[in-house]
Chains A and B, each alone.
Chain A
Amino acid sequence: MVFSSEAFLYVFLPVALLAYYAARMLPGGNRLSHGVLTLFSYAFYGWANPLFTVLMLGSTLVDYALGRVMVAGKPLDVDGRLPTLTPDTPRTRRQRAALFGSIATNLGLLAFFKYFNFGIDTYATVADTTGLPGLDPSLLLRVTLPLGISFYTFQSMSYSIDVYRGHAKPLRSFIDFACYVSMFPQLVAGPIIRFSEVATQLQQRTHTVAKFARGVGFFSLGLAKKICLANPAAEIADLVFDAPNVAAAEAWLGTFAYSLQIYFDFSGYSDMAIGLGLMLGFAFPKNFDAPYRSRSITEFWQRWHISLSSWLRDYLYIPLGGNRKGEARTYVNLAMVMLFGGLWHGASWNFVVWGAIHGLMLGFERAQGKASLYRRLPAFASVGITYALVCFAWVFFRAATLPGALDHLAAMMGQAEPTSAAFAVRALAWQPYNLVMMGLGALIVWGAPWQVWDFTRSLTPIRGAVVAAALVLALVQLSTQSYNPFIYFLF
């Protein structure tokens, strides 16, 4: 189920909110509401395929049990909660084994469901070119990628790691833990909510009309971003990237459209997730911070998909040694993190190349140090160069294949021989509606004085009217469009 679907908006969400608040009014309301939320989240997840819920339940059970194993035998806290492990005490073999079990289970699931097909296809390609014995396709299993597995395995893993490190108390209640892992606002496309980021709120949080109304603001503006800006941009991007040999102008337009699509699609989803969280009393951290206004790739990663970049920093880069083990090791660590980040997005060489480009750029900027090339340029130039580099990498992210990405880059350089299809792309891409929407998108990205986060802080009557207008516009436009899933559902 996607947020921008009638089933979610007109049936699931009102019923879920009603049941949630009804549960809160009953005795034991906090736990009960978590139970209700978990049930609805499983229904939300099972909407894509009921069998996926079995997988999520299995993963949840394993991590919950291993969290309990880590503190087994330790006395409960005075408030009856499980104890936090002391950060400085050496861990026992049992605790290390539990952590290993959790990481192995989650990464194993991810590896199997996400990378099995990739491995088989890569082997088949190598076998084709080298003459190695091929694989009989009829005997091979084709694995279906469960929705959002990259997100919930990372969340679940963060629980075990936080408990192991002594950064969070393990949960005694399975319902609370299942609620954390499965919470529908951020289940299938993030933001990745680390356990330590919501641990306290799971125990206690407030529900106020201000929070709910701000949630409405986040949700409405996020929905408008998705329906009114990301979807039209997607139409242009699909048109251009699916056609062979387009002319340079259309190749640039397609790349620009894709950069807007992925930004509005994903940041719109994050806004909606944050909004829904607020309606349920949770405050989720910021996930986007005007990334296309970054003055360097380093800064871009501090503003783009912050929940992923900070997860990778804290759970991969720093454990690998970060920048504490010398210059050479720092570069290796950076490259590894970005390659892993690329592969996290999808099982394809395109994502590896995308990660490698960002890794190289991060390394390059680090080598430049304080006297970085960017720092000496005026803001508009460094923002422009950074955006161009990001777009260059997006080509690999969007193209269906590596040769397809190279062809598109060649087209951007005017090196492609336009076919008759290129003329049709020209006629269809430069339609007034597309230009209006692209212009509006660009204005919001580079010209808007506020982001959703700031805009909803003070809900004045005018801002309230803007939120309401955005919601109505999005719902009206939604009525004419067909189903259009979020890009990050695929990761």
Chain B
Amino acid sequence: MLIDREKQAVDEMANTTGSPWVLWTLTYGFLLLLVIPTATHLATSSATLIRTGIAIPKALTGLPTGPFDASHDTLQAIDAFEAELRNGSPLAQKLRPATQTALFRTLGVGNAQVIAGTDLPVSPRVGRRLYFRPAVQHVMGPPFLSQARLKKRRREGNAWTAAIEPDPRPAVRHFAEDLRRRGVELMVLPIPVKASVDGTALRVPKALRNPSWDPFLASLDRLGAGGPNVLDLLRKRKGAQFLETDTHWRPEAMDAVAQIVAASLKKRGVKTGRRLRRTAPVEVQATGDLADLLGVWPGTIALDTVQVPTLGSPPDRSKATVLVLGDSFAGIYEDPSLGFGDHGGFADALAHHLGQPVDAIVVNAGGAWQTRQALADQADRLDDIDVVVWLFTGRELSLGDWRDVRLPETDAVVDPRWVRVPDGEAGLPIRGTVTAIAPTANPLSSTYPDQVVALSVAIEGVPKGAPGSVAWLMAWGLEDRIQQRASELAVGDQISVGATAFGDAPRAALTAGRSELPSRPTAVPLLWVNQWESP
């Protein structure tokens, strides 16, 4: 029986008019437009697209036996397929920068990751300050310590994604307690984001800060873990403190912070000496991470140019009494993958002002918890340390996962079978089934071009639960924004790799952003995949 609305719709559609050639052109044109991108994709790089596509039904086969795990794996496979479809398409690779460049040049339009400041008129090769959108949202958004905000962020975790801990205070407190138990003091240095310090391009008349910023600093002071006020220091300094096209600070801003941190450490009684000698600064020119994320044509945005001071002779870090635990704010100018050379980062600047060597554990994009996890994995680094300086970008306070990572009571005991092997050799053979793998970031939206991912492997032939039955591995997921072998793996895959101790991994891997497995216990030997056997 037809009712009015259906009859109306059926009659209406039956009355569509148009000359046949218009109707056929629209029909075929539409279908062609939909088919061409995938067809060209298949023609140029069919293997990756097909492989990521096939991974979806493969993951689904686990549904009858373990619905929740299989569902999680399927969603991960879907993510990988969508990322390949979006990033691997040759048409999109041509179209995206062209469109973004046109929008940026004509109307100053950013994208989902980048906000273009309003400081200068947009024209080719003219600098325009770029801001990382999540960082701007952090300073403009709701107080990160408000109960409503914490509750909302806790709820974002559900059956399919692991719940996160949004409150940084318990993590800081526990970390300070664990360090104190080992006779080590903690100094926490949240680094304000660019919008807080160089907000002129956002037309902000005074320091833009999240309403919870000051209460959080006060809580650090109460805990005895507070450091100098970096926001006030940088706001008082003249000129730009941050790179124009990058999220990070300029070398002179980093140096100024290192100087007041050194002064603060001296007051705490840390051993100091004469300033370490520096050579003449090195000029570095590079395109910042924000310009990369914006994805415009090369040459559209002017390069950032900085003078980076370098220590004359690198000090022996094994004799350090201060350990810097930091994210890319500690790694910039030291980690070449960040684009601004390897001339000396925050640890070297601090060493210069302290007159003492300073050790450092740096994990890009890992300020909230991965650096603590990295320290927990190699807690022997704390043996001669008096103070840990933990710095991280301030946006982590609004966006990070502040999961509780406890330092082990004792240092990790390395399974004697998992020995270190000399560079260049295949390493310890690991053969088994992938039981869990952390997701690889989207190459387009990942803040950094490199990322290592964690995976666990059930070793073939070793009974479940027996010592050495599970290997915890790290491997490249993303290198220079290109997905690597580990990003293609799924739970249940059989792998055969050569591995070595993670501590012996290339430096770039040690400082790269990490995608971790929440299930990984601390104080287990962590291995690095240095060779993949061909399937």
User: Which one, A10, A49, A220, A456, contacts B160 given CB within 8 A?
Assistant: A49
Judge whether A50 and B208 touch: CB under 8 Å: no
What residues of B have a CB within 8 angstroms of the CB of A49 in the complex? 71, 75, 160
Judge whether B60 and A431 touch: CB under 8 Å: no
A458 closest partner in B (C-beta): B17
- Smallest CB–CB gap between B15 and chain A, Å? 7
Q: Produce 1/0 per residue, B1-30, CB < 8 A to A.
A: 111011011101111111110111111011
Q: Produce 1/0 per residue, B49-83, CB < 8 A to A.
A: 00000000000100100011011001100100110
Answer yes or no: B109 CB below 8 A from chain A CBs.
yes
Judge whether B27 and A212 touch: CB under 8 Å: yes
What residues of B have a CB within 8 angstroms of the CB of A211 in the complex? 13, 16
User: Which one, A213, A420, A432, contacts B22 given CB within 8 A?
Assistant: A213
Answer yes or no: B206 CB below 8 A from chain A CBs.
yes
What residues of A have a CB within 8 angstroms of the CB of B86 in the complex? 6
Judge whether B203 and A424 touch: CB under 8 Å: yes
Answer yes or no: A183 CB below 8 A from chain B CBs.
no
- The segment out of A366-374, A390-398, A440-448, A460-468 that lies at the interface is A460-468
- Smallest CB–CB gap between A438 and chain B, Å? 13
Judge whether B13 and A201 touch: CB under 8 Å: no
Answer yes or no: B89 CB below 8 A from chain A CBs.
yes
- Smallest CB–CB gap between A120 and chain B, Å? 11
Q: Produce 1/0 per residue, B418-461, CB < 8 A to A.
A: 00000000000000000000000000010000000000000000
Answer yes or no: B202 CB below 8 A from chain A CBs.
yes
Of residues A6, A168, A436, A467, which shows the largest number of chain B Cβ atoms within 10 Å of its Cβ? A6
Q: Produce 1/0 per residue, B104-146, CB < 8 A to A.
A: 0001110111010010000000000000000011011111000
B6 closest partner in A (C-beta): A197
Judge whether A17 and B109 touch: CB under 8 Å: no
- The segment out of B34-42, B338-346, B501-509 that lies at the interface is B34-42
User: Which one, A84, A432, A459, A467, contacts B16 given CB within 8 A?
Assistant: A459
Answer yes or no: B412 CB below 8 A from chain A CBs.
no
Answer yes or no: B367 CB below 8 A from chain A CBs.
no
Within 8 A of A (CB), among B255-275: none
Answer yes or no: A130 CB below 8 A from chain B CBs.
no
What residues of A have a CB within 8 angstroms of the CB of B207 in the complex? 420
Contacts A51-B71, A242-B142 hold; do A432 and B1 have CB atoms under 8 A apart? no
Within 8 A of A (CB), among B163-208: 195, 199, 202-208
Contacts A421-B139, A457-B12, A457-B16 hold; do A209 and B6 have CB atoms under 8 A apart? no
Judge whether B89 and A6 touch: CB under 8 Å: yes
- The segment out of A31-39, A409-417, A475-483 that lies at the interface is A475-483
Q: Within the assembled complex, what's the spacing in Å between the Cα atoms of A310 and B4? A: 12
Of residues B30, B89, B100, which shows the largest number of chain A Cβ atoms within 10 Å of its Cβ? B30
Judge whether A201 and B99 touch: CB under 8 Å: no
B117 closest partner in A (C-beta): A427
B37 closest partner in A (C-beta): A10
What residues of A have a CB within 8 angstroms of the CB of B18 in the complex? 210, 213, 458-460, 464
Contacts A167-B1, A211-B16, A457-B16 hold; do A283 and B6 have CB atoms under 8 A apart? yes
Judge whether B158 and A423 touch: CB under 8 Å: no
- Smallest CB–CB gap between B166 and chain A, Å? 14
Answer yes or no: B85 CB below 8 A from chain A CBs.
yes
- Smallest CB–CB gap between A260 and chain B, Å? 18
Judge whether B17 and A459 touch: CB under 8 Å: yes
Judge whether A460 and B136 touch: CB under 8 Å: no
What residues of A have a CB within 8 angstroms of the CB of B141 in the complex? 242-243
Answer yes or no: B155 CB below 8 A from chain A CBs.
yes
Answer yes or no: A65 CB below 8 A from chain B CBs.
no
- Smallest CB–CB gap between A440 and chain B, Å? 13
Answer yes or no: B413 CB below 8 A from chain A CBs.
no
Of residues A212, A428, A432, A480, which shows the largest number of chain B Cβ atoms within 10 Å of its Cβ? A480
What residues of A have a CB within 8 angstroms of the CB of B89 in the complex? 6, 10
Answer yes or no: B218 CB below 8 A from chain A CBs.
no
Q: Within the assembled complex, what's the spacing in Å between the Cα atoms of A491 and B392? A: 37
- Smallest CB–CB gap between A419 and chain B, Å? 8
Answer yes or no: B31 CB below 8 A from chain A CBs.
yes
Judge whether A285 and B6 touch: CB under 8 Å: yes
Answer yes or no: B103 CB below 8 A from chain A CBs.
yes
Answer yes or no: A450 CB below 8 A from chain B CBs.
no
Q: Within the assembled complex, what's the spacing in Å between the Cα atoms of A45 and B6? A: 25
What residues of B have a CB within 8 angstroms of the CB of A197 in the complex? 3, 5-6, 9
Judge whether A433 and B103 touch: CB under 8 Å: yes
Main secondary structure of the interface of A (DSSP, over half): helix
What residues of A have a CB within 8 angstroms of the CB of B199 in the complex? 420, 424
Answer yes or no: A490 CB below 8 A from chain B CBs.
no
Q: Within the assembled complex, what's the spacing in Å between the Cα atoms of A198 and B206? A: 60
Judge whether B202 and A480 touch: CB under 8 Å: no
Q: Within the assembled complex, what's the spacing in Å between the Cα atoms of A475 and B29? A: 13
Contacts A421-B208, A480-B100 hold; do A216 and B202 have CB atoms under 8 A apart? no
Contacts A6-B89, A50-B74 hold; do A476 and B95 have CB atoms under 8 A apart? yes
- Size range of the chain A interface in the assembly: 35 or more
- Smallest CB–CB gap between A4 and chain B, Å? 12
Judge whether A459 and B82 touch: CB under 8 Å: no
Answer yes or no: A381 CB below 8 A from chain B CBs.
no
Q: Produce 1/0 per residue, A284-304, CB < 8 A to B.
A: 111000000000000000000
Q: Within the assembled complex, what's the spacing in Å between the Cα atoms of A401 and B149? A: 10
Answer yes or no: B395 CB below 8 A from chain A CBs.
no
Answer yes or no: A57 CB below 8 A from chain B CBs.
no
What residues of A have a CB within 8 angstroms of the CB of B136 in the complex? 424, 428
Q: Within the assembled complex, what's the spacing in Å between the Cα atoms of A400 and B9? A: 37
Contacts A168-B1, A210-B18, A479-B92 hold; do A7 and B82 have CB atoms under 8 A apart? yes
Answer yes or no: A453 CB below 8 A from chain B CBs.
yes
- Smallest CB–CB gap between A333 and chain B, Å? 22
Judge whether A216 and B1 touch: CB under 8 Å: no
User: Which one, A13, A206, A242, contacts B34 given CB within 8 A?
Assistant: A13
Judge whether A471 and B30 touch: CB under 8 Å: yes
Answer yes or no: A425 CB below 8 A from chain B CBs.
yes
Judge whether A482 and B445 touch: CB under 8 Å: yes
Answer yes or no: B211 CB below 8 A from chain A CBs.
yes
Q: Within the assembled complex, what's the spacing in Å between the Cα atoms of A401 and B152? A: 10
- Smallest CB–CB gap between A185 and chain B, Å? 13
Q: Produce 1/0 per residue, A197-234, CB < 8 A to B.
A: 11111000010011111101101100000000000000
A482 closest partner in B (C-beta): B112
Judge whether A479 and B159 touch: CB under 8 Å: no
Judge whether B155 and A142 touch: CB under 8 Å: yes
Judge whether B3 and A196 touch: CB under 8 Å: yes
- Smallest CB–CB gap between B68 and chain A, Å? 8
- Smallest CB–CB gap between B423 and chain A, Å? 40
Judge whether B108 and A432 touch: CB under 8 Å: yes
B67 closest partner in A (C-beta): A51
Judge whether A216 and B13 touch: CB under 8 Å: no
Within 8 A of A (CB), among B301-329: none
What residues of B have a CB within 8 angstroms of the CB of A86 in the complex? none
- Smallest CB–CB gap between B22 and chain A, Å? 4
Judge whether B96 and A431 touch: CB under 8 Å: no
Answer yes or no: B462 CB below 8 A from chain A CBs.
no
What residues of B have a CB within 8 angstroms of the CB of A169 in the complex? 1
What residues of A have a CB within 8 angstroms of the CB of B3 in the complex? 167, 196-197
Answer yes or no: A174 CB below 8 A from chain B CBs.
no
Answer yes or no: A323 CB below 8 A from chain B CBs.
no
What residues of A have a CB within 8 angstroms of the CB of B20 in the complex? 209
Of residues A242, A278, A482, which shows the largest number of chain B Cβ atoms within 10 Å of its Cβ? A482
Instruction: Jot down 16 A-B pairs with beta carbons below 8 A, ordered by A.
Output: A7-B78, A10-B34, A50-B60, A50-B74, A51-B68, A142-B155, A213-B23, A220-B30, A424-B140, A426-B203, A427-B202, A428-B118, A431-B109, A460-B22, A477-B99, A480-B295
17 further A-B contacts with Cβ under 8 Å, apart from A419-B211, A464-B25, are: A10-B35, A13-B34, A46-B74, A50-B63, A212-B27, A243-B141, A283-B6, A284-B9, A400-B152, A420-B207, A420-B209, A421-B208, A423-B208, A424-B139, A427-B203, A428-B115, A459-B22
